[in-house]
Structure 1
């Protein structure tokens, strides 16, 4: 079964997100744990979560993906920023236990002049501080496009973070198609080769989710500019290949394209049409 969804607003709660997902043909979704540009998490409504979990179970939802706020930078040179990142990660992982067995995705951050090695060390140190053996959530490092001083533009950088983390079993990777294509991994012409390289560096068992995004910019542009599926430099056939690849087809796919809910519904319908059951 194709498990596909998009990013939904959590402002009205989990049950509301579940109903929106169903209305546009989705059977999973991604959401922010808090305002993507802010710091305050929404209070937990256990009744709302209980209603959502029933809705999800009744409708065969796939695994959910939560996304950390964009302001999170665990490898900043500013101690205030790293303390904020640690606080957010701790609070969010506590929240995620109300949705057991889900995924939590974050951008590794930017080293802002400290160098890649130092950035990797700082990200790993934060993860060692916040991960716990009892948590049911898998924390995903997102592949990045390589703009500026971002960490995570190569599979090797993500592997270096994971290598330094004690509870490695709590970690996975979210592959963003726009980001990796912009970072120089040719998903259009060498999909098998990219996946083989991922396997050799990280292990395919680490790949837990896919962000499905076309790119406004060309291959190896090192830019982060998402585009509607089939309207960018990857093109329609690349996404048909991605969702049907034997290594990827059972993973959850999440759209982050510049569309509203109705537009995402159109993309979901197109993906379902081209998925080979």
Structure 2
């Protein structure tokens, strides 16, 4: 099982790889740049090479790069939309130098313009950016449905993918907290939820899972992550997710409210389960 968590690359990619090993992880997620801003860390070729060596030696699974929270591709505001396009394009260019071929971003908020407007805005931006020559798979993250979020139903995700010219570059990162809050009952009907995903999007598009418990109730439309086994999803349901025949080959990335030691404990718990 490829299991990891969100780690900082502020001290370099090699250091992030070492941190992953120190907590029993064999993959990790990282922000491509400041999550609340736009600045990106300069890439050091030797640092990247050392991370590659760690990944090979310890049989790491796929790493996952995460776009900053400030990226809103669904916005009607030109300045925000242009920033989102510039950021995403720069991230994809930088990822060609890093041993990471998965990149996820929150589809965005339509800001009361309507879901269809948001979807069209997202796909227009992606179609301006993508050339078809990228080696990175761009993952749409499933959302909880709070506020004016886009991407909280499988149908919305599917519509975005279908409208992207180079749709072969598109995939999905499924967040367990988000889809449970959005109304997909992965606690009592996991097989049914996966069947719906397959029927609408296709399980071949699912490339990574954000593994989070939830502070909020089912179908709450709230996005509040909880530590594994401490929330409304619970350890039993999470165990079924990580051992499911259609999911167990995927990288699982923890985004629970934890420090490094907390992540280590959760990874040990999940491996023992």
Q: Same fold (TM over 0.5)?
A: yes
Structure 1 consecutive aligned stretches of length 4 or more whose deviation exceeds 6 Å: none
Please name the residue that 2:267 is paired with. 268
- In 1, Cα distance between equivalents of 2:100 and 2:37: 26
For residue 175 of structure 1, report the CA deviation from its aligned partner.
0.3
Cα RMSD after superposing both structures: 0.7
Please name the residue that 2:71 is paired with. 72
Q: How many residues align?
A: 273
For residue 134 of structure 1, report the CA deviation from its aligned partner.
1.8
- In 2, Cα distance between equivalents of 1:92 and 1:116: 26
Query: For 1:175-254, what aligned pairs fall within 5 Å after superposition?
Result: 175-254=174-253
**2:27 aligned counterpart, secondary structure:** coil
For residue 99 of structure 1, report the CA deviation from its aligned partner.
2.2
- In 2, Cα distance between equivalents of 1:150 and 1:218: 18
- In 2, Cα distance between equivalents of 1:46 and 1:74: 30
Please name the residue that 2:115 is paired with. 116
Q: Is the 8 A contact 1:100 1:136 kept in 2?
A: no
- In 2, Cα distance between equivalents of 1:31 and 1:261: 14
Query: For 1:166-181, what aligned pairs fall within 5 Å after superposition?
Result: 166-181=165-180
| Residue 163 of structure 2 is aligned to residue 159 of structure 1 | no
Please name the residue that 2:83 is paired with. 84
Structure 1 runs not aligned, ≥5 long? none
Query: For 1:36-51, what aligned pairs fall within 5 Å after superposition?
Result: 36-51=35-50
For residue 100 of structure 1, report the CA deviation from its aligned partner.
4.5
- In 1, Cα distance between equivalents of 2:17 and 2:131: 28
- In 1, Cα distance between equivalents of 2:97 and 2:125: 22
**1:6 aligned counterpart, secondary structure:** strand
Give TM-score, length-normalised by structure 2.
0.99
- In 2, Cα distance between equivalents of 1:270 and 1:132: 42
**2:183 aligned counterpart, secondary structure:** coil
For residue 101 of structure 1, report the CA deviation from its aligned partner.
5.3
